[in-house]
Structure 1
Amino acid sequence: MLELLMVPAIIRTECGFVVGGRKALCVLLYRLAFPCRLKDMRLVLGLSESCICETFNWMLHFNGLQVGLRTFAEAVYNKGCPLTHCWAFIDGTVRGIARPIRNERFFYNGYKRKHAIKFQGVVTPDGLFVDLYGAEVGTRHDRYLLAQSALLEKLQTHMNSPSGHPYCLYGDPAYGQTDHIQCPFSASVNAPLTPAIRNFNKSMSQCRVTVEWGFKEMTSKWAFVDMKCQQKFLLSPVATQYKVATLLSNFHSCLNGGNQISQYFGVEPPTLEEYLKV
């Protein structure tokens, strides 16, 4: 993994700490895997608390950690979904944070009843996140995240078949209906719902839930980002921690031949070597 990620043999932090590349990667993985105290990590890694903190932040911002429509669409269709050109699923997630000392009301999500930040993710049938946007404050709507991410413009430019037919994402009603994003039929707009429409909504819902599996699987692997009291948005790079944990979750799926989502759709993820070449 060190070679694939191109982690240097020796890293030097802003405060002058010099750490071997292998140990720096261990610091990143250890810190994200479980919420533990720096003093406990010091005993395991043999580094000072200041060095561990600096190394963790250096690895979070390390540039080496960056990242077939038809196959995905066929996998979704074969699971009983009526859409023939749906290749992935989109959803937002609300991540709890510690209560901020400033601008508290901007972070408070009344629906979830907690201070939070929001991310938008896109998951493909091979179980990988192919797009993750955030963070925005917890009061923002999913449509706002969609607009700010410029994802729709990317879809319109790149996600079309050779014949010009659009490949689409499927999400909840908050995203609205476009050529490249589909959502369930709403009873308030399409009432009364016919049996065919109800069956469509039910079939697509059974597959759309996989994007929620993706968020859950990531936080189960990297429990640190799910520990609300540790997510101090104004003090730590909370958004970067979440993005790096998501990327590491993709790595884990590639190394282990898939996850719950890929098994559900019967699509194997690429190898780690193939993934990092993309």
Structure 2
Amino acid sequence: MTLALMIVLHRMVFPARSVDLSLLFRKEKSTLSVIFNEMIEKIYIKLYPALKFDYSLAMYCVGFIDGTFNKIARPIVEQEGAYNGHYAYTTSDHMMIPFRRQMADEQELAINKSMSAVRISVGHEFTHIRSLWAFLKYSQTQRSG
């Protein structure tokens, strides 16, 4: 039972490859897969109430478009859906970009300042989410499609 738990914990450390686990635990990849799946099922059955996601941990909607770039691996399908145009955001009915400082009047500068405050809190939430789920830092695992 201890070995099985060690296999699960090591497999959940990110990044983990089954080849590395096979060498470390001296077991076939298929055997490790069976052990992992059975242990995950046992953990789930025993600890289900404690494993429910606590939505209060995600304080803000992190889908806020603030110009923060989060790398993803090249999409297999529908690449244009992930392309941001790199600084090519435009104002529309659903999106607002900051006013250019050189041409902005006092009211527009005040709007920029209020947007900046929101962007800072969103940046903090991105950091918080990344600390909870470390695999989000690895761009090669962030693949759409």
**TM-score of the two chains, using structure 1 as the length reference:** 0.31
Pairing partner for 2:18 from 10, 17, 38: 38
Percent of paired sites with the same residue: 16
Hey, what's the Cα distance between the residues in 2 that align with 1:94 and 1:206?
16
Give the AA of the match of 1:89: Y
Distance 1:55 1:95, change over 3 A: farther
Give the AA of the match of 2:8: L
In the alignment, does 2:114 pair up with 1:210? no
Hey, what's the Cα distance between the residues in 2 that align with 1:108 and 1:51?
40
* 2:60/2:122 contact within 8 Å kept: yes
Kindly provide the CA deviation profile for residues 84-120 of structure 1, in whole angstroms up to 9, marking residues without a partner as x: xxx9211249784687xxxx4257744169xxxxxxx
**TM-score of the two chains, using structure 2 as the length reference:** 0.50
Which structure features the higher share of helix residues? Answer: 2
Aligned-residue offset at 1:200: 1.6
Hey, what's the Cα distance between the residues in 1 that align with 2:140 and 2:28?
25
1:119-130 → structure 2 map (5 Å cutoff): none
Q: Which runs of 5+ in 2 are unaligned?
A: 64-68, 86-93, 99-103
Pairing partner for 2:96 from 183, 186, 195: 186
Provide the aligned length of Structure 1 versus Structure 2.
117
Structure 2 residue matching 1:208: 3-state secondary structure: helix
Q: Which has the higher contact order (CA 8 A, sep 6+)?
A: 2
Aligned-residue offset at 1:34: 3.5
Aligned-residue offset at 1:209: 0.6
1:1-278 → structure 2 map (5 Å cutoff): 20=1, 22-60=2-40, 62-63=44-45, 64=47, 66-67=51-52, 88-92=59-63, 96=72, 104-106=76-78, 109-111=81-83, 186=96, 193-218=107-132, 220=134, 222=135, 226=138, 228=140
* 1:219/1:226 contact within 8 Å kept: no
Q: Which runs of 5+ in 1 are unaligned?
A: 1-19, 73-86, 114-175, 177-184, 235-278
Kindly provide the CA deviation profile for residues 55-96 of structure 1, in whole angstroms up to 9, marking residues without a partner as x: 3334555343522xxxx9xxxxxxxxxxxxxx9211249784
Kindly provide the CA deviation profile for residues 102-143 of structure 1, in whole angstroms up to 9, marking residues without a partner as x: xx4257744169xxxxxxxxxxxxxxxxxxxxxxxxxxxxxx
CA RMSD, aligned part only?
Answer: 4.4
Hey, what's the Cα distance between the residues in 1 that align with 2:39 and 2:144?
18
Structure 2 residue matching 1:228: 3-state secondary structure: helix
Give the AA of the match of 2:60: F
